[in-house]
Copies of this chain bind each other. A is one copy, B any other.
Amino acid sequence: MNQTDLGDSVIFPLGEQLGSEHFSGAAWLEMLTPADSACPIGNVTFAPGCRNNWHSHPGGQVLLVTGGRGWYQQWGQPARELRPGDVVEIPPDAKHWHGAARDSRFSHLAVMVDPAKGPAAWLEPVADADYDSLK
């Protein structure tokens, strides 16, 4: 598998392209368990350069990286480069974003923690200058 040009997603289905105002470009989502279940799990794939806006989850979220290269950043901290096999535990209510590197697609599983606490709170886009500074 060419990690910088995933023709599809990794292991799990690519799903449908998102038409979300909270993403800077093309991204795809396949829900692996129902969104209204006790443990919603989605397979998310970002096109190169695509990232989501700053946001937070009342119950937290776990990311399991399956393909490509990407970034995770929590507000006030340096961005963390992500590769297949990396795991991110996002604390409840922590303001953060995630997405692909400029030159690579990026796929991760996203496990919602304690979904009864409510949906994501969406905030402002990541500043272009901040994203563009990432190598």
The count of residues in chain A whose C-beta lies closer than 8 Å to any C-beta of chain B is 23
Does the CB pair A41–B59 fall under 8 Å? no
Known: A38-B113, A39-B111, A39-B113. A13 touches B62 (CB 8 A): no
**Which one of A45-53, A69-77, A83-91, A123-131 is at the interface?**
A83-91
Asked if A56 CB lies within 8 Å of chain B CBs, one says: no
How many subunits of this chain does the assembly comprise? 2
Taking beta carbons and an 8 Å cutoff, which residues of A are in contact with B? Answer: 10-13, 32-33, 37-39, 41, 59-60, 62, 64, 66, 84-85, 87, 89, 109, 111, 113-114
Inter-chain CA distance A33–B85, complex, in Å, is: 12
Does the CB pair A89–B33 fall under 8 Å? yes
